[in-house]
Amino acid sequence: MVRKKWVLHGVVIVLIVVVIFALDRYKLYKEEKPPVPVVTAGGTAIKPVLGAYKWNGQPEKNVKSDPAELLAEQKRALVDPGSTLEIRFDKTPENITYGWYDPYEKKVFWEEQSYMYHMWENGTFTYPNTADRYTTVIKAEWEEGQVTYYFDAQVENKFSYQGYLSDVKGSFSYVVIEKFSESAGFTIPYEFSRSFHKGQSMEMDADNFNTSHPELPPISGVPAYLIFDHEKLLYQTGDKDELLKWLSDTFDIKLISPQWYSKVPGKLSVLAVLKPEDGSVERLKKEENAGLISTIEVVDKSPYPQDVDMQAPMYYVFDENTNVFIAYDYNSLQMFLNDYATMNPQ
C-alpha cells in the first residue's frame, strides 16, 4: 500500500514537472523576438533597427516609438554610391512591403508613395550616387506575425563629380557651366526630359571647374555641357547645337520644341492642346496678364511622343530658350502666369 502511494506521488511529481516545463517553453515561445535579418551593402554590414512588431500573439511592441529615436541609438553605416542593399532571412517572409523613411518629415512612405520606390527591385535597394542619408524600411510578414525593420546608411562621397551622376540606372543627368546670365535659361528640351533624372547649371569659369574636378576631362571654356549616366561621363561639348544634335541622335527623338519658343524677348508663348469646343484661348486673351504672352497656338493633339495619350486640355508654356511650365487645366495656367508676372515685372 505504501509502495503504491509512493508510485502515485512520483507520477504526480513527474506530471507537475512536465507541466512546469511545458509552461516555461510556451512562455519562452510567446516572448521570443522576431528574426533578425543579415543586411549588407557592397560588403558593409548594416545593423537592422527593429520598429513596430507583433509576434506570437503578444501585444504589439514599439508601435509608439519614434523611428528617429530608435535610429539615434546606433551608428549609421557608411556605404559606397551605387552599392546594393541585400536583406537575407533564415526563414523567408510570406510577404514584404518596401518603403523609405523621411527623417525631415519623420514619416515612412510605403511603395508608390515614396519617390525612392523605383530603387527597390526584387528585394534589393540600389543606393543613389548623391551623398546623403538613406533610411530604407521593410515590413515583413510571417504566420507568427509582422515586423518593421529600418536600415540606416550614409552614402559616402568618393569623387568630385559623384553628385552629377544620375541616381537611377538607365537614366541620365546633365551639367551646364555657363555665365550666370546664360545658365539661368538653359534646360534640356522637353522632348528629352523623361530620359533625364536630374540636371543643374552653375556659374564657374573653366579653370576653377577643371581644378575642382581633376578626374574629368578638362573643359576648354564656358559654356560647357556635360552628359552623365549613373556611372560615368558620356558626352562633353562647348557647343549647344552640337549638344542638341547628340541628344536627338542618341535618343532617336526629333527636336521640335524650338519652333514654339517665344520670339519676343521677355515674353512667353503658349502651345495649347484643346478640344474644338474649348474657349479658354479667348478667355486667356482677355486676362489681366495677357500681355505676357506673345503668341498662342492651338492643336488638338500633343506633338510630343511622351504625351500623345494625355487628355486635353494641356498648355505648354515657353520662354525664349525652353519649356518653362506645363499646365493640365486653365486655373493652373493662370496661377503660373500670375506668379511669373510677379517675379518678372514688365
| pLDDT bracket for residue 288 (50, 70, 90) | confident
Report yes or no on 11 lying in a domain. no
Which CATH number is 110's domain given? 2.60.40
Domain boundary among 108, 139, 155: 155
Q: In sequence order, what DSSP letters do the residues of 221-289 get, joined into one string?
A: SSSEEEEE-SSSEEEEES-HHHHHHHHHHHHT----GGGGS-SSTT-EEEEEE--TT--HHHHHHHSGG
Mean pLDDT rounded to a whole number for the chain? 87
91 pLDDT exceeds 80? yes
Cβ 172 vs Cβ 195: under 8 Å: yes
- What is the spatial distance between Cα 68 and Cα 102, in angstroms, rounded to a whole number? 10
Print the domain residue range for 187. Answer: 162-254
Which CATH number is 316's domain given? 3.40.30.10
Report yes or no on 1 lying in a domain. no
CA-wise closest residue to 195 among 225, 229, 232: 229
14 pLDDT exceeds 50? no
Note the pLDDT of residue 168.
Answer: 87
Q: Are 131 and 199 in a shared domain?
A: no
Domain boundary among 113, 137, 155: 155
User: How many domains is the chain partitioned into structurally?
Assistant: 3
105 pLDDT exceeds 80? yes
Note the pLDDT of residue 122.
Answer: 73
Q: In sequence order, what DSSP letters do the residues of 2-15 get, joined into one string?
A: HHHHHHHHHHHHHH
Give residue-wise pLDDT tens across range 228-276: 999 999 999 999 999 999 999 999 999 999 999 999 999 999 999 999 9
Q: What is the mean pLDDT of residues 162-184?
A: 84
Cβ 325 vs Cβ 317: under 8 Å: yes
> How many angstroms from the chain centroid is the CA of residue 44?
23
CA-wise closest residue to 67 among 108, 116, 111: 108
Report yes or no on 108 lying in a domain. yes
29 pLDDT exceeds 90? no
**What are the strands of the beta sheet with 233-237, ordered from one edge?**
196-203, 172-178, 224-228, 233-237
Residue at 154: amino acid letter: Q
**What are the strands of the beta sheet with 84-88, ordered from one edge?**
44-45, 38-41, 84-88, 124-126, 120-121
- In the 8-state DSSP scheme, what is residue 61? B
| pLDDT bracket for residue 19 (50, 70, 90) | very low
Give residue-wise pLDDT tens across range 41-62: 999 999 999 999 999 989 888 7
Note the pLDDT of residue 77.
Answer: 96
Q: What is the mean pLDDT of residues 16-26?
A: 40
Say which residues have a Cβ less than 8 Å from residue 186's Cβ, sequence separation at least 6.
176, 178, 201, 240, 321, 322
| pLDDT bracket for residue 11 (50, 70, 90) | very low
Note the pLDDT of residue 21.
Answer: 40
Say which residues have a Cβ less than 8 Å from residue 164's Cβ, sequence separation at least 6.
173, 175, 200, 226, 228
Note the pLDDT of residue 114.
Answer: 59
Domain boundary among 254, 277, 294: 254
Q: What is the mean pLDDT of residues 69-95?
A: 92
